Each structure stands twice: as structure tokens, then as C-alpha cells.
Amino acid sequence: MKLLFTGASGFLGSNLKPLLKNNFEIKTLGLTDDDDYKVNIAITVPEIDILFDVVLHAAGKAHSIPKTEEEKKSFFDINFQGTANLCRALEKSGLPKAFIFVSTVAVYGLEAGENITEEYPLNGDSPYALSKIKAEEFLTDWCVRNNVTLGIIRPSLIAGPNPLGNLGAMIDGIKSGAYLSIAGGKARKSILMVQDIARLLPALIEKGGIYNICDDSQPTFRELELLIAKQLGKRSPISISYSFAKFLASAGDFLGKNAPINSLKLSKITESLTFSNEKAKQELNWQPLNVLENFMIK
């Protein structure tokens, strides 16, 4: 099958592409010289000259806190308008059998909660979440009108070699010796091994649907800390009390963006946020990999 892969040069794409080559003839679309179609879909409708069976749309602006109105707008330019421009290109080149969109659990707008299902309302109000919600809504309408099977995956935090975001920050902190565990690291987080996206893709192409994807173990921060420390050959991070961490977070609120911890970061570290993967397991006959058994930091 011919597959058009957007965002193949990012963390997600670079880890998935080698795994997909066994089952698909891949062409990539993105911003690098290595892409088959080098184009910025945020501002341009690309010219695609092949009829693809499947589109895997992973290109997008990753979650971050915007500092200006221009940065807020860029989420919608890339995540929403980029999606619309891609679809306009497909209307000209030929419609795929299936369109797979990589969304995010951020659409729910939650900082804490347990076993959140796909039925939970989309209350995300950050520019990142709202841009993904708009893209989901656009694609739902577009795929119905054009008889294209739509699969939307909402990954949790993604683990893989050299990860980005909070997991990457944890690795850097433990590596440098600057990381402190808080209150025993008891909070749980849903995590997904990056290769699981490739493993569920064939069934998703056939069936479509909207799915949270994460592993079953829902590891605690302490389990992740110990796993990472062991792989790095470092001592287990020291755990400090919640009251002391709260004092440091208050100081961080005062010091600003360069502080290692603030109240927002503290709440994310000490409150559990997990998602249900039961729908994906049942409907796609998928069994996720265990993160604690499979995560290698390099």
C-alpha cells in the first residue's frame, strides 16, 4: 500500500518510519530536504502527484505554552490549517482509502483523572488542544463527505529513544543529578511505546474510529525514575516531601520561566492522569507493549 507520511522527520516519525517500511511504500511530506514533498502545509496547499492508499498525518506543532498571540495563532496555522490544506491537496491528487490523524489526549483538557475514556467531553482550552479539536472536527466532516475511513488516535505521553517533553526532561535531570523525586513519586501517568502506533495501524486503517492509546501498566513516577536511573547507571533520585516541594514551587512562581519547578509543574508531577485503552484493545485487537519492560532511553 502507498502511504503518505507527514511529520516523518520528528520524534514520532523518525521512530515509526523504519517500522512502517515493511508494510508500506512510503513517501514523506514535511519541511526537510529529506522529505519527498518539501512544503509548509501551514501556508501552502501541496502539490501531490501520486494517489495514496493511506495518509498518516503526524505533522503538527507540539504542546508548549505560547508567550505571544503570534505563537497562539501558529498552533491553528499548523495543526488546523495545515490539515485543511493537506485535504485540499488530496482532493486534487485522488482520495485515499484511509486517513489516520495523530491527535492527543490534551483534547480532554485534564490535569488529573483516572481511566478517562473517549466519551469524555473535549474540554481542552489551550491553543494546542483547541487546534487539535478543530482538526478532528474538520477531518470528521471531510472524511464523511468523501467516503474516506478516518482513524483518530489520541496518544498519551510517548516513550521511545531520546524522547522529548516531560519524559526527556526527567532523563536530563536524572543524568545531571539535578532531579528530585517528590512525595515518593506515587502519581501515575499513561504512557505509550512509540512502536505501538505502527503495530495498531493496519487494523486502524481497516476499521477507523477514535481511540485513546497507551499501555496497561500506567507506571508511577517512581517506577519511571528507577528505570531511567538504572539505564543511566545513576543513583536513585532522592525523594523530598510534598511540603518542601510546594515551598520550592512557590519560589518558582515568583522567579518565572527559568525556575526548575513551579505550581503548575508540581501539580502535574503529584497528580495521577491516566486514560483507558480498552476501546482500542477490543475493537482493534491490539495489545500494547509494557512501557516498563520495553522503554530504552537510547
Instruction: Write down the CATH number for the domain with range 2-155.
Output: 3.40.50.720
Asked whether the predicted pLDDT for residue 99 surpasses 80, the reply is yes
Q: Which percentage of the chain shows pLDDT scores above 90? A: 84
**Where does the pLDDT of residue 264 fall: very low under 50, low under 70, confident under 90, or very high at 90 and above?**
confident
Asked whether the predicted pLDDT for residue 85 surpasses 90, the reply is yes
Q: Kindly list the domain boundaries of the chain, sorted by start residue.
A: 2-155
Q: Which helix (H) or strand (E) holds 209?
A: strand 209-213
**Where does the pLDDT of residue 33 fall: very low under 50, low under 70, confident under 90, or very high at 90 and above?**
very high
Q: What is the pLDDT of residue 66?
A: 73
**Where does the pLDDT of residue 248 fall: very low under 50, low under 70, confident under 90, or very high at 90 and above?**
confident
Asked whether the predicted pLDDT for residue 258 surpasses 90, the reply is no
Check if the beta carbon of residue 93 is closer than 8 Å to that of residue 50.
Answer: yes
Q: What is the pLDDT of residue 118?
A: 98
Angle separating helix axes 127-146 and 82-93, nearest 10 degrees: 20
Mean pLDDT of 128-148: 98
Asked whether the predicted pLDDT for residue 65 surpasses 80, the reply is no
Q: Which percentage of the chain shows pLDDT scores above 70? A: 99
Check if the beta carbon of residue 253 is closer than 8 Å to that of residue 196.
Answer: no
Q: What is the pLDDT of residue 142?
A: 98
89 by Cβ neighbours in 10 Å (0-12 / 13-18 / 19+) ranks as: buried
Q: What is the pLDDT of residue 71?
A: 87
State the Cα–Cα distance between residues 3 and 56, nearest whole angstrom: 7
Q: Which helix (H) or strand (E) holds 240?
A: strand 239-240
Please, what is the Cα angle at 260 between 257 and 264, to 5 degrees?
Answer: 70
Q: What is the pLDDT of residue 197?
A: 97
Mean pLDDT of 197-221: 96
Q: What is the pLDDT of residue 64?
A: 75
For the stretch 143-179, pLDDT in tens is 999 999 999 999 999 999 989 888 998 999 999 998 9
Please report, as a single letter, which amino acid is at residue 261: I
Mean pLDDT of 255-264: 78
Asked whether the predicted pLDDT for residue 78 surpasses 80, the reply is yes
Q: Which residue has the higher pLDDT, 38 or 265?
A: 38
Asked whether the predicted pLDDT for residue 259 surpasses 80, the reply is no
**Where does the pLDDT of residue 140 fall: very low under 50, low under 70, confident under 90, or very high at 90 and above?**
very high
